[in-house]
Structure 1
């Protein structure tokens, strides 16, 4: 009945409950501590309400979902011990800022799901991830014993983790957190493409930077795509978040031999243009060294987060706020992006559909009205500081797609044994092509769980986009609607405005303090250099005279010692001054944050006071009116003499 429908289930959730096996009851044990931080208060409220809705909806559909709610438990109670010992749900520590200072608090906010021998545990419901989605996915996992298979193509990206050469040292690459997220829904397996892939081996493939594969592996991937294996491709002309990933147009260097010695030089790579030809894509770019091709990079003038100072025109905020009509920036024509509002791509390329092609191309992510492309040489000039974006821009090319959904029939032109094996069951091409790998950086999973970090309140939906793409490829789209079903909790606009004003003031004054600090240190350093300059000139003059034999070595040595002592003393004094100023700067920033928090707390307390006091007045006024009315009616039939 409410506008936000914060206690209502999505239609996809109701369908899932309706299709549950009535012979396999599901038991949910939820554990919630008596105190949760303010950031998790909404998540706690949502979890309790939705669990009640799940139980009620299941009862209406003659399905059994038993909910055991352990609400308001103490961190050291028997219920907390039960959660830890039986389900592995333990108190987690989170850092929060309160009254200008950072503090750590522990909370319990998890649930365990059981059905038969299947069990899934959610140790913590992060406030940035939709609770309904976590519940639905966990219930579906324990309710159905079979999971679809997702193959992760082994490439430079090393999504499953590994070891790479970085300079002369080995670098350990941790498993990408996106893999853990996918493993909650799919059976995930690494694929090294040492043998052909038949269409029935995997429900979908995930290939990040396939251009880094050797020619034989690359050809097997293309053959699998032609054979109808649904594939998500993330191909980046210039990866930013992972330096070990070879850009599309750069030669791939060998990792080195023993102890990093020997075996160097360029290594053969697959020709990415053959994949573009199969997918009927045009990629703006130019020829590069060693017969390779360097895609252009897209740029765009739009930053919805001014406080994010690291962002520039090569950070592409694909934002529905830039669209002149719905679905122009994030397509409404495909369930992957339908309902999404903002995705960030960094140093991404552009992709266009070839004219007259047979495949169906649906742009998923497109740049805004003030955007275009830059060639690789222009980007190098900008990054080196020798040119600016304004100098390198050759023109505007608005609405450039950077991601495509591609479907349709295509004939395989492969030859030999691999073609025979792959052509057995051609279901048609089904590909999601994204001209960026940074769109799935691990940092985006952190932002998804904690969107209010750095006080920026980021609304990026990169992880949702990636998960939706995999679901669409596997045909398991039931979770997409649930994942996109973000509840709209009403808030007090006055308090939100005051918070934003306070945060803006904190950022501004913090920048001012930093500028003041940098300027003071610069002036102090220049003063030291000036004071030492005269002594430095004397030393240089004595060195020249010493070479001519006019000055004894002892005189020169004495002057050098004096210069070194004075230089060390000056640098020591500067270091002490720097440390003192850093403490003063940090203290000023803490004071500003504390004042901002106190200001917000004051208005919150005012609202709370009014919320308690104001509801008393209407019934009081009604009571007075009723009392006065009755008294007047009582006096109507009484003679005036009796009233005296």
Structure 2
């Protein structure tokens, strides 16, 4: 039986011994300094997120220093000073001494870790971090250190030299730290085995086969999952997993057992040493097998049952009630099958994604019971049967170039899922690093388990959102990615603007013959319809004639004996009329002709739920589609000139549409709109790392922009959103007092925003390319928060219901996907936007299906460095004010010279004498030359001044970040330094007091 007072006595003795010298305090100070230095790197400020991610990456390396430094004297000094024999002759057990020493060393490590909490104090001053996430992170720090401390003690028990104990401690601690890299080295050995197999020598060939099988088996055990960094990862995300607790506990128990074997070896007699040694080798091997098996079993069961505590403030990793209720409600008559195709080898950044996906699927299987079948398919190489099966479902093989150990390598892998039921199927073709897994799976299960999908109609405009065929270039246009996203939840159909809103044509497409029509279930009938549609004419077998009719987006299959109704995805060229859908999506309706616009407005006024994206400057689809640019004639085939263009309705101003919605592009006019369109800019940019890459017309919409209501928290559409991005958006405002319409702003620009007129923004370029945006136009901020999106709906039931957005780029492929991909690949920067969720939430709300909105809005709240961002915004505001002052000055100078030139030109007609005319012409020519020269001088001076102002702002920001970094680095070591000075001073004072005056050195 263990005696606590004995353990306490040993504990106090060793703690006091550690803090009796300067070296112990020095190690702690260096450790705390290193932690703060790695936590507050330039990347920390560039990412602008209040986490310890940068420290988490290197913390296992720091343990390789601090743990051997703390533990190297635990046993080595006892042996060196000869106190080990004295200690073991006391009436105490070996286990009590071992536990007392371990707890003392663990206490020293805990004290060192506690001193590092000063960096969190600095973090709390300049941000609002997720304290739950930081708590879990520090729990992981402590557990990892506690496990390695036992390894360091074991190393110290093997020698009487502290230096040797330090080196052995580093080596032993490096095994769990670098377990993943060690496993990766096995692949190199496996490659050597393959080379040996190619040898013609039989013995060498046989040896190569043995090596390949042995190391292949070891690699298949996935020991890389048992690395310390892999086990710590979930703690760094804000979770406390059971598997992590078992792992660190197992490592601690094993190393303490090895330590116990070493210190009890003295009891072995000379004749027993060989036998006892073999016995303990066998025991150790059995213990390794037991602990490894326990860890593997715990990991598998924890992933399947979700055995982990989510301590984040937003419960970001806990399954929602929406998911649980949905899985429990799956009908046994319509079971759901989830098939996941996962490659064995994925890039390093995708390993957590695959692991979380596997864990979620196990939970879905457990919660869904017999009505939800989960099948996880392991995909080997690209030519395996599993890869072929994945391809038949449309799951794409991905190629990702990543850097590993300083080398770039291209990895091909599969990571996707198919969710199906007897009546429907949803394919998640590619899962990315930032894919919200729970939302994607839950939405897909809900879609396929439902009886009927709702339909989203996409209006055919010059934007070609749903795709189709471009007759001028003679090529097919793919649908926008947002259409692909909508098809995971809705049926999507193209809507012709040429058909009246109340007309729903019924067109017979083809007839086919089936053998046993009455015996076909709905799923197989759908398949027959799809086959027949692809071939247009098909004879399946002798039997009854089956007529296939398209009524809107619905397919009706009928014969004499039976009648079925089903749906099928329509191609881009198949357009139906108004009235055959639940929600209408209209992108760039200003490109419609007058009759088309009239039908569109009729549909809206009739109560059709509609989401509208229009734009004064649609940069992603081409400025030729801008309302201020004359419409070009459509190209004919083979490069021939097409017919004259159909004029845009209201000269592209969409006046009738705006009037129906009670809004105007520019609130400065109350009469029919005749002014210039304006483009919104905003100097707010929460991403310092990419600030120089994007102009102010890339408007980042965020509550951190100085306008708390920039993203509305009142609307279900945008509640919980943190950031969106619009490119060269327009603005609009409510006009008049429409008593029957409610105007609810959803998105607004920030406090440092303004507008540019079309003429101020554009300049004439290549006559074939049309006008182009100026590189650096004169931007003047105003005091308005410009409305970029709003929900406009009637107070009456079934009345007008529209979400209007003054930017189509917000939903373009570039803004939704391409930009993030470019930044990720080219600049190693993750840009997380809520643009996709904004569209999906709007469509759900308009369709009256709000079940998925809360789940879609559920995401970890971004925790920016708020105080730092405010100070940076202050520097930026000073620079902008100076820029505006100089811009006005330069503008006035140019206007003065231009006025002189205009006066000279006017005087040309006031005097008819040839001498006067010649003199005036000369004056005008000189004025023109002066104007040109002055413009060049001003432009050059302007660019130099702007560069100086930006450089000054950059220096101020760097100075601020450096000041904060030094505060974070120097503040945590102050307490241990003060403690060391105090304790060593008291020690010296006590020694001075106890020395007899006759024995002291006289000074």
Q: TM exceeds 0.5?
A: yes
1:322–1:368 CA contact under 8 A, matched in 2: yes
Classify 1:310/1:173 alpha carbon distance in 2 versus 1 (closer, same or farther; 3 Å): farther
Structure number having the greater strand percentage: 1
1:322–1:329 CA contact under 8 A, matched in 2: yes
Q: Does 1:93 align with 2:399?
A: yes
Q: Does 1:371 align with 2:757?
A: no
Equivalent in the alignment of 2:421: 115
Equivalent in the alignment of 1:16: 326
Q: CA deviation at 1:74?
A: 3.2
Classify 1:14/1:479 alpha carbon distance in 2 versus 1 (closer, same or farther; 3 Å): same
| Aligned pairs (5 A) from 1:227-626 | 227-243=606-622, 246-256=625-635, 259-261=639-641, 263-264=643-644, 267-270=647-650, 272-284=654-666, 294-308=676-690, 309-323=692-706, 325=708, 328-358=709-739, 359-380=741-762, 388-389=776-777, 391-393=778-780, 395-409=781-795, 427-447=798-818, 450=821, 452-454=824-826, 455-486=828-859
Give 3-state SS (helix, strand or coil) of 1:403's partner. strand
State how far apart, in whole Å, the 2-side matches of 1:244 and 1:381 are.
12
Classify 1:45/1:375 alpha carbon distance in 2 versus 1 (closer, same or farther; 3 Å): same
Over alpha carbons, which structure has the higher Rg?
2
Equivalent in the alignment of 1:189: 493
State how far apart, in whole Å, the 2-side matches of 1:34 and 1:305 are.
35
Residues 284-321 of structure 1 deviation map (CA, whole Å, 9 limit, x = unaligned): 1789xx98654211111112234433411211110222
Instruction: Give me the TM-score of the superposition, normalised by structure 2.
Output: 0.43
Uncovered stretches (5+) of structure 1, i.e. residues with no partner: 411-425, 494-644
Residues 119-150 of structure 1 deviation map (CA, whole Å, 9 limit, x = unaligned): 33333322222111221122122211311111
Higher relative contact order (CA 8 A, sep 6+): 1
Equivalent in the alignment of 2:311: 3
Classify 1:266/1:141 alpha carbon distance in 2 versus 1 (closer, same or farther; 3 Å): closer
Q: CA deviation at 1:26?
A: 1.8
State how far apart, in whole Å, the 1-side matches of 2:462 and 2:860 are.
38
State how far apart, in whole Å, the 2-side matches of 1:26 and 1:387 are.
54
1:126–1:449 CA contact under 8 A, matched in 2: no
Equivalent in the alignment of 1:639: none
Instruction: Give me the TM-score of the superposition, normalised by structure 1.
Output: 0.65
Q: Does 1:43 align with 2:423?
A: no
Give 3-state SS (helix, strand or coil) of 2:649's partner. coil
| Aligned pairs (5 A) from 1:29-40 | 29-40=339-350
2:336–2:421 CA contact under 8 A, matched in 1: yes
Q: CA deviation at 1:228?
A: 0.4
Q: CA deviation at 1:189?
A: 0.9
Q: CA deviation at 1:57?
A: 2.8
2:330–2:336 CA contact under 8 A, matched in 1: no
Q: CA deviation at 1:116?
A: 2.3
2:601–2:657 CA contact under 8 A, matched in 1: yes
| 380-389 vs 364-373, greater mean Cα deviation | 380-389
Superposed CA RMSD: 3.3
Give 3-state SS (helix, strand or coil) of 1:252's partner. coil
1:56 to 356, 362, 366: 366
Aligned length: 464
Residues 324-378 of structure 1 deviation map (CA, whole Å, 9 limit, x = unaligned): 54xx111111121111111111111112123522211111111111112222221
State how far apart, in whole Å, the 2-side matches of 1:387 and 1:447 are.
22
State how far apart, in whole Å, the 2-side matches of 1:162 and 1:180 are.
14
1:362–1:405 CA contact under 8 A, matched in 2: yes
2:397–2:414 CA contact under 8 A, matched in 1: yes
State how far apart, in whole Å, the 1-side matches of 2:344 and 2:755 are.
54
Equivalent in the alignment of 1:158: 464
Classify 1:111/1:392 alpha carbon distance in 2 versus 1 (closer, same or farther; 3 Å): closer
Classify 1:108/1:466 alpha carbon distance in 2 versus 1 (closer, same or farther; 3 Å): same
Residues 405-464 of structure 1 deviation map (CA, whole Å, 9 limit, x = unaligned): 111147xxxxxxxxxxxxxxx811111100011111212342598573331211122222
Classify 1:49/1:99 alpha carbon distance in 2 versus 1 (closer, same or farther; 3 Å): same
State how far apart, in whole Å, the 2-side matches of 1:316 and 1:489 are.
18
Q: CA deviation at 1:10?
A: 2.0
Give 3-state SS (helix, strand or coil) of 2:761's partner. helix
Uncovered stretches (5+) of structure 2, i.e. residues with no partner: 1-308, 503-577, 765-770, 866-1003
Q: CA deviation at 1:92?
A: 2.9
State how far apart, in whole Å, the 2-side matches of 1:87 and 1:386 are.
47
Classify 1:80/1:173 alpha carbon distance in 2 versus 1 (closer, same or farther; 3 Å): closer
State how far apart, in whole Å, the 2-side matches of 1:104 and 1:195 are.
50
Residues 586-640 of structure 1 deviation map (CA, whole Å, 9 limit, x = unaligned): xxxxxxxxxxxxxxxxxxxxxxxxxxxxxxxxxxxxxxxxxxxxxxxxxxxxxxx
Classify 1:242/1:65 alpha carbon distance in 2 versus 1 (closer, same or farther; 3 Å): same
Give 3-state SS (helix, strand or coil) of 1:93's partner. strand
Equivalent in the alignment of 1:69: 376
State how far apart, in whole Å, the 2-side matches of 1:19 and 1:448 are.
39
